[in-house]
Structure 1
Amino acid sequence: MDPRQMTTLAVVADQTSDKAADRAVKRARVLAVLAEAGRDSVLLTSQTALSWYLDGSRVGISLAGDPIAAVLVTGSGDHLATFNNEAARLSAEEIPGGVTVHEVPWHGSLTDVAAWHGPGALPALEAELAVPLRLARRSLLPGELGRYEQLCRDAAIVLTDVLSFATPHTTERGIAAAVAERIVGLGADPLVLLASGASRADFRHPLPTAAALGRRAMAVVCARRDGMIANVTRWVRFDGGTPAELDAEARIADVEADIFDATVPGAAVCDILAEIRTAYDRHGFGPEQWTLHHQGGPAGYAGRDPRATDAVTDTTTLNQPFTWNPSGPGVKIEDTVLLDSDGIRPLSLDSRWPSELVNGIPRPVTLQL
């Protein structure tokens, strides 16, 4: 056998072993949630919960559509319902071992548990247990952390590859198309693709247009693979930058540094948001800047899991990923990071991209071409 094939088989075997170990822990976590709630089962129906519980299984067809599967978690086992036109592929390629598959007519209902599982089943709806289920998935296990780290690196590498060859005449759509091609080639889904040239730099969510980049540009990608989502933003410019731009870039980096300082084990997400509000004012953006765009939050199996608001009292824990995205007029920072025992560790970095240390943490800066 070709040595390369042997290496590939070994990697696949290791990943299968990691997923089996992680799955056992996840099942135990969900059963603990059920015990605490006094329920005997729960029906998982969201993309986020399903991809987490099934260790990255692809349970969607349209990126904008609902999952084509639902999972009933009971004390005696896991049951997956899917449509009859999806069952063969899911069984062959996606569903982990130990899960019982139930086929539903393509025109049927995945949530009619009595119809496909039998009478007497009265599971809790996922929405009823949304908060404890979210807390159950906040700390990444070893297997999924390894896959997530690679995805975040890959996303950063793609932005380096594309933006390093951009010119003032490159269009926003040209940037987005090049990023999408590379992301798909890596086996990931480009869930969000944003690009803005100099004429649209003030837009916080700039869907790409036919406009040329001009003297500076921003590109954003949110890429999903193995169910997890990496979020990365990068800036490039083709001149030395104006004094106002350079000043704003330095100050928004200081805001992010304060956010990282507040992201410690046990901190409530709403309390971190309170620190974010004061950081903007402290660094010259004014007390209302935080109201002009969402500030990010915990990451992982959702772009933000959830976005930080005053209502989110979830506490943070070790091995939990975050994507904070402080922004101001014409400036924005966004990277996926991990809270580990040493503090904040950036995951979406490419050593080829210019960076500087801010409070000892390497942070990407604008690429000047």
Structure 2
Amino acid sequence: MSQTTVNPGQLQPPAPESGTRAAPASAADRAIKRRRVLDILDAAGRDSLLLSTHTALTWYLDGSRVHISLAGDPVAAMLVDRDGDHLVTFNNEAGRIAAEELPSGVALHTAPWYGSLHEAAAALGAPGSAPLAEADVAAELRAARQQLLPAESDRYARLGAELAAILTDVLSTAKPRTTEFDIASALAGRVVAAGAEPLVLLCNGSARSQFRHPLATHSPLGRRAMAVVCARRDGLVANITRWVRFDAGSPAERDAEARIAAVEADIFDATVPGTTLDRVFTEIKSAYVRHGFGAEQWEQHHQGGPAGYAGRDPRVTAAVTDTVVQDQPFTWNPSGPGVKIEDTVQLTGSGVQVLTADPRWPAATVNGLARPLTLQL
């Protein structure tokens, strides 16, 4: 196994005309993240930690891309020890990672493309001392990444605004004869052009509105449609749902849309620093009853949860007892028959800030917060 020593001068942002990418990492944010991981090692009485998942790696590297296939495992593993940070990647990935993804201060090592990244990373630690496995401190790592730091908060806000604008642009051109695949492909093209990865693309027309996770088909939209995008850029995942229709909608339909927004408002009210997520989950179940959806509606679809470096980090259930903190991002997605509402938000000192917002999209004020309506064309 060989080590590549990277000169910090090689990691400066490239000239604009080069068209290449520079690692997005903030040195200040990364220093805080390293301190948080060292605190985990201190609490566990260990000297090193092996990071191996997309969520942990992109968080700790502060936005580096460590994937090739969106469906595959990371092409890197990270050993964090008391002496420094050691990233191991395959020999055929090292050039790109060194040039475009490696934060300053991280030592890059290579393993053969047919080798084991985890074994190579573990071998960098002190002899006779196995590193702590990521799975052994999953809850502690989740807590470490809950509170977004300044630079990553800025990156997340930019992604959210761009994603919301993409939904507005694409859905504003839709027609009843437009197919679900037409919408999904247009969204995918715009997301990729924005430098992001489309992790989830869903669309249903009026003939398929009963499905909560509608993978697109060749079916036309008809009189009403939903589009969902979950997109990742610099490791952060933003999630958004929008609806469009080509008539005024029925009274029952408009009533259900207002009631699901009221459910979401109750969830926002319950999501405050210091509370625990199992308590928020209890409030979610009560909100469905209060707003006329029935006591069992929450069982028909997951309700969302904390967001950030995973689509949900984690999905909230009665068993999740994490404590909510300020500057933590969330994506709640309450839904009912034929209705759903979803945006990525961040808790700030002044309350809930909606990140996936476009001022061009029609909205109504619900409990003091602008929430998306169905776009009528």
TM-score class, shorter: over 0.9
* Structure 1 residue 121 displacement after superposition: 3.7
1:96 maps to what in 2?
Answer: 103
- C-alpha change, 1:74 and 1:114, in structure 2 (3 Å) is closer
Checking the alignment, whether the CA contact within 8 Å between 1:84 and 1:105 is kept in structure 2 is yes
Any idea what SS the aligned residue of 1:111 has? Answer: helix
2:76 maps to a residue whose letter is A
Q: What do residues 23-51 of structure 1 show as CA deviations (whole Å, max 9, x unaligned)? A: 00100011011111211111000000000
1:56 maps to what in 2?
Answer: 63
1:298 maps to what in 2?
Answer: 306
- C-alpha change, 1:8 and 1:88, in structure 2 (3 Å) is closer
Q: What do residues 210-241 of structure 1 show as CA deviations (whole Å, max 9, x unaligned)? A: 00000000000000000000000000000000
2:150 maps to what in 1?
Answer: 142
* Structure 1 residue 310 displacement after superposition: 1.1
1:71 maps to what in 2?
Answer: 78
1:194 maps to what in 2?
Answer: 202
Kindly report which structure 2 residues correspond to 1:29-178, keeping only aligned pairs within 5 A, or say none: 29-112=36-119, 113-115=121-123, 119-178=127-186
2:104 maps to a residue whose letter is G
2:158 maps to a residue whose letter is Q
Question: Within 2, Cα distance between the matches of 1:315 and 1:342?
Answer: 19
Checking the alignment, whether the CA contact within 8 Å between 1:114 and 1:120 is kept in structure 2 is no
In structure 2, list runs of 5 or more residues that go unmatched. 1-12
Question: Within 1, Cα distance between the matches of 2:115 and 2:150?
Answer: 37
Q: Which runs of 4+ in 1 moved over 2 A?
A: 5-9, 113-121
Checking the alignment, whether the CA contact within 8 Å between 1:102 and 1:117 is kept in structure 2 is no
1:24 maps to what in 2?
Answer: 31
Question: Within 1, Cα distance between the matches of 2:340 and 2:273?
Answer: 25
* Structure 1 residue 15 displacement after superposition: 8.7
Any idea what SS the aligned residue of 2:26 has? Answer: helix
Checking the alignment, whether the CA contact within 8 Å between 1:228 and 1:300 is kept in structure 2 is yes
- C-alpha change, 1:261 and 1:106, in structure 2 (3 Å) is same
Checking the alignment, whether the CA contact within 8 Å between 1:198 and 1:216 is kept in structure 2 is yes
RMSD: 1.9
Kindly report which structure 2 residues correspond to 1:224-239, keeping only aligned pairs within 5 A, or say none: 224-239=232-247
Question: Within 2, Cα distance between the matches of 1:117 and 1:268?
Answer: 36
- C-alpha change, 1:134 and 1:283, in structure 2 (3 Å) is same
1:105 maps to a residue whose letter is P
1:108 maps to a residue whose letter is G
1:205 maps to a residue whose letter is H
1:249 maps to a residue whose letter is E
- C-alpha change, 1:67 and 1:114, in structure 2 (3 Å) is closer
- C-alpha change, 1:66 and 1:163, in structure 2 (3 Å) is same
TM-score (norm 1): 0.95
Aligned counterpart in structure 2 of residue 205 of structure 1, from 209, 213, 222: 213
- C-alpha change, 1:118 and 1:74, in structure 2 (3 Å) is closer
Question: Within 2, Cα distance between the matches of 1:7 and 1:344?
Answer: 37
- C-alpha change, 1:257 and 1:8, in structure 2 (3 Å) is farther
Q: Answer yes or no: is 1:264 the counterpart of 2:272.
A: yes
Q: How many residues align?
A: 362
1:255 maps to what in 2?
Answer: 263
Question: Within 2, Cα distance between the matches of 1:100 and 1:6?
Answer: 20
Q: Percent identity?
A: 63
Question: Within 2, Cα distance between the matches of 1:342 and 1:165?
Answer: 35
Aligned counterpart in structure 2 of residue 343 of structure 1, from 338, 351, 355: 351
Checking the alignment, whether the CA contact within 8 Å between 2:23 and 2:103 is kept in structure 1 is no
Aligned counterpart in structure 1 of residue 364 of structure 2, from 353, 356, 361: 356
Any idea what SS the aligned residue of 1:127 has? Answer: helix
1:277 maps to a residue whose letter is K
Checking the alignment, whether the CA contact within 8 Å between 1:104 and 1:116 is kept in structure 2 is no
* Structure 1 residue 164 displacement after superposition: 0.2
1:106 maps to a residue whose letter is W
Question: Within 2, Cα distance between the matches of 1:41 and 1:198?
Answer: 53
